[in-house]
Structure 1
Amino acid sequence: MVKTNPGRFFEDYHVGQVIAHAVPRTLSGGERALYHALYPARHALYSSDAFAQSCGLPAAPMDDLIAFHTVFGKTVPDISLNAIANLGYAEGRWHRPVWPGDTLRSESEVIGLKENSNGKSGVVWVRTRGLNQRGELVMDYVRWVMVRKRDAAAPAPETVVPVLADSVAPNDLVLPEGLDFTDYDFTLAGDPHRWGDYAVGEIIDHVDGVTVEEAEHMLATRLWQNTAKVHFDATVREDGRRLIYGGHVISLARTLSFNGLANAQMIVGLNAGAHANPCFAGDTVRAWSQVLDKAETAAPGVGALRLRLVAVKSGGVPGALRGEDGKYLPDVLLDLDYWALIPI
């Protein structure tokens, strides 16, 4: 009897299928320390209990992307072990903070399927939910993945392409209970700029760069228990190179955005996202952001910015995203559209 898991292939999915992902994960200060060392993250709300308490929270929560990476990593053995590419994200929301000691688990529902014209692969859409030890929803998001077929002769399923919102409406954003920025300390946060200082359409060059090393991306991907073969096994790709986990690029870009957006403290919505081109060890990642929208919230002193975060390899120009053909420029690694909370 075969006891190993080869992973699911395209023909193994059907719309309405619900997959409970294995191995819950209890998070601690260790994950926070490693996250801050790897990227290195330094937003004040996640770095200091005292700062978080001055903003109405009981302590510093775990970084939002720690929750994302943990929830995402649980899904890989069932959703993307045999993936060719992770194509995009939509309709993501963070519903409550994650605190040290919380245990996260994931479940996904297949909401769409479409076989590719070559008959060798297809696109699978799933809605993933991250739950804590009390069964409370921590975050949810939709992602779609191109997955290999086991048998190219297997019949194609009925095509179902889900209709997804262009963005999360500001009224649908969930704000952490008690959050209050009326006594926000801009000096300790490291940036004087507040909600009113940003204009829709404004482009911010985050200036700094980080060269990706083989050791750190391998450590990060293991930390999040992401088992996708393309990140570890150099024999999987014809070029013999290990692909950098897209979430690693997301966290690098988010950390680089501190220079210019240090007060964009909490990520609460994920509107869209695309990994435009592959990233490999040795690439130097830089980032720029564009303000897409602004909204007020019901929390005292708290506003929301809708931001496009773009990660590029060296040579990428702030504001340059697509060529005349409408395709992403070759230097663009990531195009991420998200909502963040910032003091008014």
Structure 2
Amino acid sequence: MKRLLILEDGSVYEGEGFGSSRYQMGELVFNTGMSGYQEVLSDLSYCGQIVMMTYPMIGNYGINCDDFESLDPAVFGFVVRECCAAPSNFRSDYTLDEFLKQKDIPGISGVDTRAITRKLRNSGTMRAIMADEGADVEAIVAMLRSSELMHDQVARVSTKNAFPIPNRGKRVVLIDFGAKNGIIRELSRRNCDLTVVPYDTSAKEILAMKPDGVMLSNGPGDPKDVPVAIETIRELMGQVVIFGICLGHQLISLASGANTVKLKFGHRGCNHPVMNLANGKVEMTSQNHGYAVEEASLKDTDLVMTHQALNDKSVEGVRHSKYPIFSVQYHPEASPGPEDSNYLFDQFMELMEKEAVKR
């Protein structure tokens, strides 16, 4: 089955269709990971995006029932050079094609992902859509150019109701902006008594739960599209320990008076080097974001940069100079990727313990 990938600049790539035929316009982005496509597909931070893997063969170890970051993926499409139809792995439960059909996600293979990646690196991410062979390309390109990208991704992927994940340790409220299962896993490993709450939960409601700490999760889209969360974080500052990851990091920065900007093509993959400015060590990190905190905007805030990307020198971590608050732009829970930064969850635990002693 022939299928087209059409970009807003008029580029058309013909390939083989797999998965669903439910086409949706989305932002075309690329991920440089050599593995971990299951975690990528199920990461809710990709809501509204069509994801292209730069590694050529995808699907070779299949899809299993254990490695999902969410059970209801929000990705709008999947682009690969080669889709493996016969995976070989003892953990495989079904093929990539079967999974995408089950989740109603369209895919395309057989396109030149290297050429498309170079285009996105040079021109920036673009609106794109898949279409059947013979589609009216001119009309589709006009539609892409006149369409706006989504602004309500967080509302789409956040839990609608609060729910507990009981344990005997520190009481932590996890604000769900599109949280990966890996974050819940790492907090549960440390015996945290978790309550997961919707993105628009008020500071008053959160403080009424008497948490030892608040975790701000990852999530999709522009952080400025979630003003209710920015205000909530402002009200929580100085009241409780806060740890932010990815979107949570950006929201902490905005709540502190800093600014965020859209990157040309973002950071997506599990091989991004980051410098820990406190000890000079380099950590390999897993990343997935299209926005970053503007370094110059930190100058007149109480935030101090703690981590920096080595590829483009962007801000990768901050801490508050007055309150027990810190955050990172990357994913210390990995999934997929290296676990170099897993220690940050231990720092969160230590900070909650330290603050508990003060009280």
- Give the TM-score band, short-chain normalised: under 0.3
Higher relative helix content = 2
TM-score (normalizing by structure 2): 0.25
